[in-house]
Amino acid sequence: MKIGAHTSIAGGVSNAVEEQLEYDGNCGQIFSHSPQVWQDPSIEESEAAAFRERSAEADVEPWVIHSSYLVNLCTPKDDLREKSIDSMQQEVEAADRLGVEYVNVHLGAHTGAGVEQGLDNAASALDELDVPEDVTVLVESDAGSGTKLGGEFDHLAGILERSDQDIGICLDTAHLFAAGYDLSTPDAVAETVDEFAEQVGLDALECLHLNDSKHACGTNKDEHAHLGEGEIGAEGIAAVVNHPNLRELPFVLETPTEDGRGFAWNVDRARELREDWS
C-alpha cells in the first residue's frame, strides 16, 4: 500500500524523507516553499540530489509538490493570472530537479466570471506552462464553496477537455465529501467512483488525498479529521482504500495533529483499514 503524509522541507528538502520514514510512510507530499506567500523555490542542487538519493534508498515514492495557496488559475485578473502561471512554472521546474513526479494544484475561484469562463481561464493558464517530461500537473478536487471550481466532477472533466496539457487528477476524500459526494459506506464509495469514472475517467486519476471530514456531506466545509474518526467514518475510509479502482494509487494524508495523534497514527490506521477489509 502506498501511504504517506505531507512532510516539511525545513532544514533541507531531504529532511522530508527522514520525517516520512518516522511516520512509516512510503510516499508523500511537500511544499517547495511557504504556501502562503509568492516565493520561488530555493533549492540548491546539492539538496535536490540528497532528496533524490535518499528517496531512492528508502524507496519512498511517488512524491507530490503541493502548489502555493495563492495560485488561482481561474482568475479573470491579469496580474493574478501571471503570478499564478509563474508560480506554477517554478513548481514544475522544482519538481523536475527533485525527481518529484507530481505537482498538485487547486483550480481556484472564478470570482464572478462564471464557471465556463473560469474553466477556460484555468485551462489556458495550464497550457502556458512548459512542463518537464517526467512531471505531471494534478488538478485537485475542491470542497466547492463560493466561486471555487473543482467541487464538481464536471469541472474536472471540463479542464481535461479544454487543456492541451497531459493533466492528471487528485481526489481529496474530505473535499469530495464536503462537495456532496458521499463516501460513508461501501455502496456510496462505489457509486461515487462510478460517477467519477463516467464523467471524468479513471485513467486520469493519479493520486488521492486521504482525509476524514469533521463536517457532514455536502456542507462545503473543508476541515480534516483523523481517519475513521470523522463523518466519513471507518467503514467509508476502508471502502476507499480497498476499492479495486483506487487501492493501487498513492494515498497522501493531510490529517490533523491533535488529540495526541498525528501522521504516524493515521498511516497505521490506513493500513489497519486495508487489512481489516481483507
Q: Are strands 212-213 and 224-225 parallel, antiparallel or unpaired?
A: antiparallel
In this structure, are residues 96 and 129 in contact, taking their beta carbons and an 8 Å threshold?
no
Residue 158 amino acid letter:
G
Which residue is associated with the grid cell 502556458? 128
In this structure, are residues 64 and 100 in contact, taking their beta carbons and an 8 Å threshold?
yes
How many structural domains comprise the chain?
1
In this structure, are residues 266 and 224 in contact, taking their beta carbons and an 8 Å threshold?
no
Count how many Cα atoms sit within 13 Å of the Cα of residue 90 in the half-sphere of its side chain: 19
Report the CATH number that the domain containing residue 226 is assigned in CATH: 3.20.20.150
Cell of 253: 494524508
Range of the domain at 181: 3-277
Angle, CA of 60, 248 and 151, to the nearest 5°: 100
In this structure, are residues 44 and 11 in contact, taking their beta carbons and an 8 Å threshold?
no
Q: What is the pLDDT along the chain (278 residues), one digit of tens a residue?
A: 999 999 999 999 999 999 999 999 999 999 999 998 898 888 999 999 999 999 999 999 999 999 999 999 999 999 999 999 999 999 999 999 999 999 999 999 999 999 999 999 999 999 999 999 999 999 999 999 999 999 999 999 999 999 999 999 999 999 999 999 999 999 999 999 999 999 999 999 999 999 999 999 999 999 999 999 999 999 999 999 999 999 999 999 999 999 999 999 999 999 999 987 65
In this structure, are residues 65 and 91 in contact, taking their beta carbons and an 8 Å threshold?
yes
For the full predicted model, state whether its pTM sits above 0.85. yes
Terminal-to-terminal C-alpha distance of the chain: 13
